[in-house]
């Protein structure tokens, strides 16, 4: 049984997709052992409680400095005894101490086809604003392992989505979620749960 901890900051639709995929059997041999938010008002916390999943808040506002917050975040993750940490819209830079402790055991969903529209400053709606400003016709989402760079870790899964005439950033964001994020995040977790993802020389190999 793969024990996953899901880290969230906002609405938690990707968390919901994972919860629903476990309930429907699209993800098997996997248990969400806890949800951690840096934001006490995140609706994702309500989703966790509704699904009877233990939920925790670790907010930078409650700590005197970043190092103390980073330590508290790592301690909370460690306390869950998780095999995999899933960043599902977690808008906090992951501390290096956590990346060292969980090498190739942290995955993230990013709302673009990496290496486009990623890195520092590209998160949430900003990614879709940038894609529309550039006029690209195909966008998408990426699930990747987290390393010490920003959105630079090994790519596990990607899915493309068409841009349509008249798209606004929020319309495009919703389509990328529906047609890509909520599909590839559960799929990637299921693959990992069944030992079908390995990293060789910095590249993720995913078996069918
Ligand atoms: C998602 O679109 C996710 O890809 C994005 O935040 C949103 C969270 O939505 N993550 C990033 O931009 C990370 N760089 P959710 O809370 O409804 O899952």
pLDDT at 110: 98
Predicted confidence (pLDDT) per residue in 35-60, tens digit = 999 999 999 999 999 999 999 999 99
> Which pTM was predicted?
0.97
pLDDT at 34: 98
Instruction: Identify the residue whose C-alpha is closest to ligand 1 atom 1.
Output: 89
On whether the CB atoms of residues 4 and 31 are closer than 8 A, the answer is yes
pLDDT at 97: 95
Ranges of residues in the chain whose predicted pLDDT is under 50:
none
Closest ligand 1 atom, residue 110 Cα: 4
Closest ligand 1 atom, residue 124 Cα: 12
pLDDT at 43: 98
User: How far is ligand 1, taken at its centre, from the CA of residue 25, in Å?
Assistant: 23
pLDDT at 51: 98
CA angle 150, 143, 114 (to 5 degrees): 55
**Two structure tokens written together for 152:** 């630079």
Q: Which residues are tagged catalytic?
A: 110
Closest ligand 1 atom, residue 176 Cα: 2
Instruction: Identify the residue whose C-alpha is closest to ligand 1 atom 9.
Output: 89
pLDDT at 37: 98
Instruction: Identify the residue whose C-alpha is closest to ligand 1 atom 16.
Output: 12
Instruction: Identify the residue whose C-alpha is closest to ligand 1 atom 14.
Output: 123
Ligand 1 contact via 43 beta carbon (within 6 Å): no
pLDDT at 133: 98
Q: What is the DSSP string of 149-183?
A: SSS-SPEEEEEEEE--TT--HHHHHHHHIIIIIHH
Radius of gyration in angstroms for the set of CA atoms belonging to the chain, rounded to a whole number? 16
On whether the CB atoms of residues 5 and 33 are closer than 8 A, the answer is yes
State the Cα–Cα distance between residues 171 and 128, nearest whole angstrom.
9
């Amino acid at each position: 049984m793969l024990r996953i901890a899901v880290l969230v900051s906002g609405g938690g639709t990707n968390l919901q997709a994972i919860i629903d995929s476990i309930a429907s059997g699209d993800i098997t041999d996997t248990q969400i052992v806890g949800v951690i938010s840096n934001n006490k008002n995140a609706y994702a916390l309500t989703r966790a409680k509704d699904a009877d999943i233990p939920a925790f808040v670790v907010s930078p506002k409650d700590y005197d400095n970043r190092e103390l917050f980073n330590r508290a975040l790592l301690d909370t993750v460690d306390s869950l005894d998780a095999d995999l940490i899933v960043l599902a819209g977690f808008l906090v830079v992951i501390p290096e101490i956590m990346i060292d402790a969980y090498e190739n055991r942290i995955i993230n969903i990013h709302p673009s086809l990496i290496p486009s529209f990623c890195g520092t400053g590209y998160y949430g709606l900003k990614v879709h604003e940038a894609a529309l400003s550039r006029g690209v016709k195909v966008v998408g989402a990426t699930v990747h392992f987290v390393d010490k760079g920003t959105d630079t870790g090994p790519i596990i899964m990607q899915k493309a989505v068409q841009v349509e005439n008249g798209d606004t950033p929020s319309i495009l964001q919703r389509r990328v979620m529906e047609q890509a994020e909520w599909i590839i995040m559960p799929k990637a977790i299921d693959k990992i749960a069944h030992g079908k993802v390995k990293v060789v020389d910095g590249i993720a190999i995913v078996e069918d």
